[in-house]
Amino acid sequence: MGIQYNVGGIEEQSGFVTDKALFLNAARTKVVEADDPDASYLLAGIGGHVDEATARRYKLNGLTKVGELENNSDATIPVSSAMTPGQKIPPSYQ
């Protein structure tokens, strides 16, 4: 009983790595980006992990498969996916 930690790191997981923050709408029926007014629940942050079942459920395409990164510990996120000055943060994330 208690908290369990995964100390193996992402290289031992299957699924996908995000290059931008992904949110669910309030009904949790679709995935939207951070600037969408319907963004209510954080699904995965920048560089976050999305398991294969979730990717299939929400029909997420274009995500990088875990293991396709040459060196997971040195992976970088494109600057274009970072928040820019003046970009609104969804109300549920404030």
Spatial separation of the C-alpha atoms in residues 9 and 37, rounded to whole Å: 33
- 41: containing domain: 18-66
Residue 10 has pLDDT above 50, yes or no: no
Number of domains in the chain: 1
Establish if 28 belongs to a structural domain. yes
Spatial neighbors of 12 by CB under 8 A, at least 6 apart, are 6
Mean pLDDT of 74-80: 50
Residue 71 has pLDDT above 70, yes or no: no
Mean pLDDT of 60-74: 71
Establish if 33 belongs to a structural domain. yes
What is residue 93's predicted lDDT score, i.e. its pLDDT?
Answer: 53
Whole-model pTM: value is 0.60
> Mean pLDDT for the chain?
74
Spatial separation of the C-alpha atoms in residues 75 and 10, rounded to whole Å: 11
Establish if 29 belongs to a structural domain. yes
What is residue 13's predicted lDDT score, i.e. its pLDDT?
Answer: 65
Establish if 7 belongs to a structural domain. no
